Amino acid sequence: MDFNSSLRIAATGLHAQTARMRVIAENIANADSAGKAPGDEPYRRRIPTFQANYDAEVGGRVVEIGRLAYDMSDFSSRYEPGHPAADESGFVQYPNVNTLVETVDMRQAQRSYEANLNVVTVTRQMLGRTLDILRG
């Protein structure tokens, strides 16, 4: 019935937000991962994308995590002549991850997750209240 569809669609939302959290965790953990040798590229930030797909079995448009795109903005460099990955002028390239931006993304992922949890809770409440009509 439609209650089950709502539950399953919300479950895909929860999966998608969990995957988004994983990408954010990767970005934050690797915020300082410069390369190992001169000329190596440091860690490049990844951005999760979502897409809506119609799922006939569930009976609605579910969300799925799409391509994990690379953020092609420039790397930042710092002057660290002693670093193994420093080039001739002593600059080391660091990942293009801004921890503040990632933290805000994390809050958004948390809010989206909570919204999907609300859908699950309210669907169950709706069914419970409907059945209460018969019990009363």
Partner 1 sequence: MAVSNTPFNAATAAYSNASRLINQAAKPTADLTATAPAAGGNFADILAQNVQGVVDQGKVSDQMALDMVSGKANVVDMVTALSETEMAIESMVTLRDKVISAYEEIMRMPI
Binding site for partner 1 (CB under 8 A): 1-4, 7-8, 11, 14-15, 18, 120, 124, 127-128, 131, 134-135
* Closer residue to partner 1 (CB): 93 or 123: 123
* Closer residue to partner 1 (CB): 31 or 58: 58
Residue 48, H or E segment: strand 46-55
Least distance (Å) between residue 105 CB and partner 1? 20
Q: What is the dihedral of CA 130, 6, 11, 102, to 10 degrees?
A: -110
> What is the CB neighbour count within 10 angstroms for residue 80?
14
* Closer residue to partner 1 (CB): 104 or 131: 131
Least distance (Å) between residue 52 CB and partner 1? 18
Least distance (Å) between residue 133 CB and partner 1? 9
| Backbone phi and psi for residue 13, each to the nearest 5 degrees, phi listed first | -60, -40
* Closer residue to partner 1 (CB): 8 or 83: 8
- 85 and 37 in contact (C-beta within 8 Å)? yes
β-partners of residue 63 are: 52
Q: How far apart are CA 10 and CA 25, in angstroms?
A: 22
Least distance (Å) between residue 38 CB and partner 1? 42
